[in-house]
Amino acid sequence: MANAVSLDERPAAPRPDATEKAGPTGKPGTTLSAPARSEAPAPRINESAAVGKVFFTNPSNGGTYACSASALNSDSKQMVVTAGHCVHGGSGGTWMTNWVYVPCYRSGVRPFGTFAAKQMRTFNAWINSSDLRRDVAMVTTWPLNGNKIVNVAGGHGMSWNFSRTQPVTILGYPGNLDSGEIQWACTGTTRAASDNGIELQCNFGGGSSGGPWLRER
Protein backbone atom coordinates (compact mmCIF):
# COMPACT_ATOMS: atom_id res chain seq x y z
CA MET A 1 0.00 0.00 0.00
CA ALA A 2 2.57 2.45 -1.17
CA ASN A 3 0.38 5.53 -1.18
CA ALA A 4 -1.97 4.79 1.66
CA VAL A 5 -1.71 6.88 4.76
CA SER A 6 -2.07 5.16 8.07
CA LEU A 7 -2.50 8.62 9.46
CA ASP A 8 0.96 8.66 10.97
CA GLU A 9 2.05 11.67 9.03
CA ARG A 10 -0.81 13.74 10.30
CA PRO A 11 -0.42 15.92 13.35
CA ALA A 12 -1.54 14.54 16.65
CA ALA A 13 -4.98 15.65 17.71
CA PRO A 14 -7.09 15.38 20.83
CA ARG A 15 -7.96 11.81 21.68
CA PRO A 16 -11.32 10.54 20.38
CA ASP A 17 -12.68 9.85 23.84
CA ALA A 18 -14.23 13.30 23.68
CA THR A 19 -16.84 11.96 21.28
CA GLU A 20 -19.36 14.74 21.80
CA LYS A 21 -16.80 17.30 20.71
CA ALA A 22 -15.86 15.19 17.70
CA GLY A 23 -19.24 15.56 16.04
CA PRO A 24 -19.73 15.81 12.30
CA THR A 25 -19.58 19.57 12.34
CA GLY A 26 -16.27 19.65 14.20
CA LYS A 27 -12.78 19.92 12.82
CA PRO A 28 -11.15 16.87 11.25
CA GLY A 29 -8.87 15.00 13.63
CA THR A 30 -6.58 12.00 13.76
CA THR A 31 -4.71 9.82 16.18
CA LEU A 32 -1.28 8.44 15.38
CA SER A 33 -0.49 4.97 14.07
CA ALA A 34 2.27 2.64 15.29
CA PRO A 35 4.57 0.54 13.07
CA ALA A 36 5.00 -3.21 13.35
CA ARG A 37 8.19 -4.56 14.89
CA SER A 38 11.13 -4.13 12.57
CA GLU A 39 11.90 -7.84 12.56
CA ALA A 40 8.39 -8.64 11.42
CA PRO A 41 8.02 -9.91 7.87
CA ALA A 42 7.64 -7.00 5.48
CA PRO A 43 4.07 -6.72 4.23
CA ARG A 44 3.61 -6.85 0.49
CA ILE A 45 2.16 -3.95 -1.42
CA ASN A 46 -1.49 -3.38 -0.58
CA GLU A 47 -1.22 -5.31 2.63
CA SER A 48 -1.00 -4.17 6.24
CA ALA A 49 0.39 -6.23 9.10
CA ALA A 50 -2.05 -4.42 11.37
CA VAL A 51 -4.99 -5.82 9.38
CA GLY A 52 -6.18 -9.32 10.06
CA LYS A 53 -8.95 -11.83 10.06
CA VAL A 54 -11.47 -12.36 12.83
CA PHE A 55 -12.95 -15.77 13.62
CA PHE A 56 -15.93 -16.40 15.87
CA THR A 57 -18.91 -18.61 16.63
CA ASN A 58 -22.44 -17.23 16.38
CA PRO A 59 -24.36 -18.84 19.27
CA SER A 60 -27.65 -18.11 17.48
CA ASN A 61 -26.99 -20.86 14.92
CA GLY A 62 -23.73 -22.48 16.06
CA GLY A 63 -21.99 -21.50 12.83
CA THR A 64 -18.40 -20.32 12.61
CA TYR A 65 -17.70 -17.13 10.67
CA ALA A 66 -14.95 -14.78 9.59
CA CYS A 67 -14.70 -10.99 9.46
CA SER A 68 -11.90 -8.48 9.00
CA ALA A 69 -10.43 -6.03 11.50
CA SER A 70 -7.42 -3.87 12.23
CA ALA A 71 -5.32 -3.11 15.26
CA LEU A 72 -5.78 0.42 16.56
CA ASN A 73 -2.95 2.32 18.15
CA SER A 74 -3.91 3.51 21.64
CA ASP A 75 -2.36 3.77 25.08
CA SER A 76 -3.33 0.18 25.88
CA LYS A 77 -1.81 -1.23 22.64
CA GLN A 78 -4.45 -3.96 22.86
CA MET A 79 -7.34 -2.66 20.78
CA VAL A 80 -8.85 -3.94 17.55
CA VAL A 81 -11.56 -2.22 15.48
CA THR A 82 -14.11 -4.19 13.51
CA ALA A 83 -17.80 -4.15 12.57
CA GLY A 84 -20.51 -4.37 15.20
CA HIS A 85 -22.03 -7.44 13.55
CA CYS A 86 -18.68 -9.20 14.00
CA VAL A 87 -19.06 -9.11 17.79
CA HIS A 88 -22.86 -9.10 18.28
CA GLY A 89 -25.78 -10.31 16.19
CA GLY A 90 -27.72 -7.07 16.59
CA SER A 91 -31.44 -6.95 17.37
CA GLY A 92 -32.55 -10.41 18.51
CA GLY A 93 -28.97 -11.67 18.52
CA THR A 94 -26.31 -12.11 21.13
CA TRP A 95 -22.56 -11.74 21.67
CA MET A 96 -20.32 -13.87 19.51
CA THR A 97 -18.15 -16.51 21.19
CA ASN A 98 -14.74 -18.06 20.52
CA TRP A 99 -13.71 -14.64 19.22
CA VAL A 100 -10.12 -14.33 18.03
CA TYR A 101 -8.14 -11.96 15.83
CA VAL A 102 -5.29 -13.13 13.59
CA PRO A 103 -3.22 -10.17 12.31
CA CYS A 104 -1.84 -10.55 8.79
CA TYR A 105 -3.52 -13.95 8.35
CA ARG A 106 -2.64 -15.64 5.07
CA SER A 107 -3.78 -19.08 3.91
CA GLY A 108 -3.78 -20.58 7.38
CA VAL A 109 -0.49 -18.95 8.42
CA ARG A 110 -0.60 -16.82 11.55
CA PRO A 111 2.66 -14.82 11.50
CA PHE A 112 1.92 -12.90 14.70
CA GLY A 113 -0.18 -15.55 16.42
CA THR A 114 -3.80 -15.58 17.55
CA PHE A 115 -5.19 -12.96 19.92
CA ALA A 116 -8.31 -13.79 21.94
CA ALA A 117 -10.88 -11.20 23.00
CA LYS A 118 -10.71 -9.88 26.54
CA GLN A 119 -13.54 -7.36 26.20
CA MET A 120 -15.88 -6.50 23.34
CA ARG A 121 -17.67 -3.18 23.00
CA THR A 122 -20.29 -1.99 20.54
CA PHE A 123 -23.08 0.55 20.37
CA ASN A 124 -26.46 -0.03 21.99
CA ALA A 125 -28.02 1.20 18.75
CA TRP A 126 -26.48 -1.80 17.00
CA ILE A 127 -27.33 -4.27 19.80
CA ASN A 128 -30.94 -3.16 20.16
CA SER A 129 -31.87 -1.93 16.68
CA SER A 130 -29.24 -3.24 14.25
CA ASP A 131 -28.67 0.41 13.34
CA LEU A 132 -26.07 0.33 10.54
CA ARG A 133 -24.88 3.79 11.50
CA ARG A 134 -23.51 2.20 14.66
CA ASP A 135 -22.27 -1.08 13.17
CA VAL A 136 -18.86 -0.59 14.75
CA ALA A 137 -17.07 -2.42 17.54
CA MET A 138 -13.84 -2.21 19.48
CA VAL A 139 -12.28 -5.26 21.07
CA THR A 140 -9.60 -5.35 23.73
CA THR A 141 -7.40 -8.39 23.17
CA TRP A 142 -5.39 -10.46 25.63
CA PRO A 143 -1.62 -10.22 25.28
CA LEU A 144 -0.05 -13.24 23.63
CA ASN A 145 3.07 -14.58 25.34
CA GLY A 146 3.34 -11.25 27.13
CA ASN A 147 3.17 -9.24 23.90
CA LYS A 148 0.43 -6.74 23.11
CA ILE A 149 -0.96 -6.74 19.61
CA VAL A 150 0.01 -3.22 18.55
CA ASN A 151 3.54 -3.78 19.81
CA VAL A 152 4.00 -6.71 17.44
CA ALA A 153 1.73 -6.08 14.44
CA GLY A 154 1.53 -2.30 14.58
CA GLY A 155 -1.67 -0.30 14.72
CA HIS A 156 -3.46 2.21 12.56
CA GLY A 157 -4.51 5.66 13.66
CA MET A 158 -8.04 6.97 13.45
CA SER A 159 -9.60 9.87 11.55
CA TRP A 160 -12.87 11.67 12.02
CA ASN A 161 -14.80 14.55 10.53
CA PHE A 162 -13.12 14.41 7.14
CA SER A 163 -15.06 14.96 3.94
CA ARG A 164 -17.29 12.11 2.81
CA THR A 165 -15.53 12.33 -0.54
CA GLN A 166 -12.23 10.78 0.40
CA PRO A 167 -9.57 8.74 -1.45
CA VAL A 168 -9.22 5.54 0.56
CA THR A 169 -7.88 2.02 0.50
CA ILE A 170 -10.09 -0.63 2.07
CA LEU A 171 -8.36 -3.77 3.32
CA GLY A 172 -10.00 -7.02 4.27
CA TYR A 173 -10.61 -10.69 3.68
CA PRO A 174 -13.60 -10.99 1.33
CA GLY A 175 -14.81 -14.58 1.19
CA ASN A 176 -15.55 -14.30 -2.53
CA LEU A 177 -11.88 -13.66 -3.37
CA ASP A 178 -9.35 -16.45 -2.78
CA SER A 179 -11.88 -17.97 -0.37
CA GLY A 180 -11.02 -15.26 2.13
CA GLU A 181 -7.55 -16.70 2.66
CA ILE A 182 -5.65 -13.63 1.47
CA GLN A 183 -5.81 -9.97 2.41
CA TRP A 184 -7.23 -7.86 -0.41
CA ALA A 185 -7.23 -4.14 -1.09
CA CYS A 186 -9.78 -1.92 -2.81
CA THR A 187 -8.80 1.63 -3.65
CA GLY A 188 -11.10 4.43 -4.72
CA THR A 189 -12.82 7.62 -3.69
CA THR A 190 -15.76 7.39 -1.34
CA ARG A 191 -19.00 9.26 -1.82
CA ALA A 192 -21.83 10.18 0.48
CA ALA A 193 -24.47 7.49 0.86
CA SER A 194 -28.17 8.07 1.22
CA ASP A 195 -28.05 7.22 4.92
CA ASN A 196 -25.36 9.86 5.53
CA GLY A 197 -22.62 7.26 5.68
CA ILE A 198 -20.01 6.83 2.97
CA GLU A 199 -19.76 4.17 0.30
CA LEU A 200 -17.31 2.76 -2.19
CA GLN A 201 -18.05 0.15 -4.82
CA CYS A 202 -15.82 -2.88 -4.32
CA ASN A 203 -16.05 -6.50 -5.26
CA PHE A 204 -15.87 -7.44 -1.59
CA GLY A 205 -18.26 -10.04 -0.25
CA GLY A 206 -18.96 -11.47 3.21
CA GLY A 207 -15.88 -11.70 5.38
CA SER A 208 -14.62 -8.23 4.47
CA SER A 209 -16.80 -6.56 7.10
CA GLY A 210 -14.79 -4.66 9.67
CA GLY A 211 -11.73 -4.02 7.55
CA PRO A 212 -10.20 -0.53 7.79
CA TRP A 213 -10.82 2.33 5.38
CA LEU A 214 -7.46 4.07 5.23
CA ARG A 215 -7.21 7.59 3.88
CA GLU A 216 -4.85 8.09 0.95
CA ARG A 217 -2.58 11.08 0.76
Partner 1 sequence: MTAWRAAAGAPDPESRPDPATTTHEPGRDPAEVREYWTPERLRDAGGAPMPKRD
**101 is a site residue for partner 1 (CB under 8 A):** no
Report the residue from 8, 46, 134, 187 that binds partner 1 according to the rule CB under 8 A: 134
Name 64's bridge partners.
57
22 and 161 in contact (C-beta within 8 Å)?
Answer: yes
| Residue 62: burial class (beta carbons within 10 Å; 0-12, 13-18, 19+) | exposed
Q: With respect to partner 1, which residue has the nearer C-beta, 38 or 194?
A: 194
**123 is a site residue for partner 1 (CB under 8 A):** yes
Q: Which of helix, strand or coil describes residue 31?
A: strand
Rounded to an integer, what distance in angstroms lies between the CA atom of residue 32 and that of residue 13? 8
CB of 38 to partner 1, least distance (A): 26
Report angle CA 168, 107, 96 to the nearest 5 degrees.
75
**37 is a site residue for partner 1 (CB under 8 A):** no
| DSSP-derived pairing of the beta strands 213-215 and 167-172 | antiparallel
CB of 12 to partner 1, least distance (A): 22
CB of 164 to partner 1, least distance (A): 7
Rounded to an integer, what distance in angstroms lies between the CA atom of residue 55 and that of residue 68? 9
Rounded to an integer, what distance in angstroms lies between the CA atom of residue 109 and that of residue 107? 6
Rounded to an integer, what distance in angstroms lies between the CA atom of residue 95 and that of residue 88? 4
| Candidate ranges 8-16, 38-46, 118-126, 147-155; the one touching partner 1 (CB under 8 A) | 118-126
CB of 60 to partner 1, least distance (A): 12
Report the residue from 37, 44, 118, 189 that binds partner 1 according to the rule CB under 8 A: 118
Which of the residues 168 through 187 are near partner 1 (CB under 8 A)?
170, 173-176, 180-181, 186
CB of 173 to partner 1, least distance (A): 8
| Candidate ranges 5-13, 28-36, 125-133, 150-158; the one touching partner 1 (CB under 8 A) | 125-133
Rounded to an integer, what distance in angstroms lies between the CA atom of residue 77 and that of residue 89? 26
Q: How many residues bind partner 1 (CB under 8 A)?
A: 73
**24 is a site residue for partner 1 (CB under 8 A):** yes
**61 is a site residue for partner 1 (CB under 8 A):** no
128 and 150 in contact (C-beta within 8 Å)?
Answer: no
**98 is a site residue for partner 1 (CB under 8 A):** yes
**154 is a site residue for partner 1 (CB under 8 A):** no
Q: Which of helix, strand or coil describes residue 133?
A: helix
**135 is a site residue for partner 1 (CB under 8 A):** yes
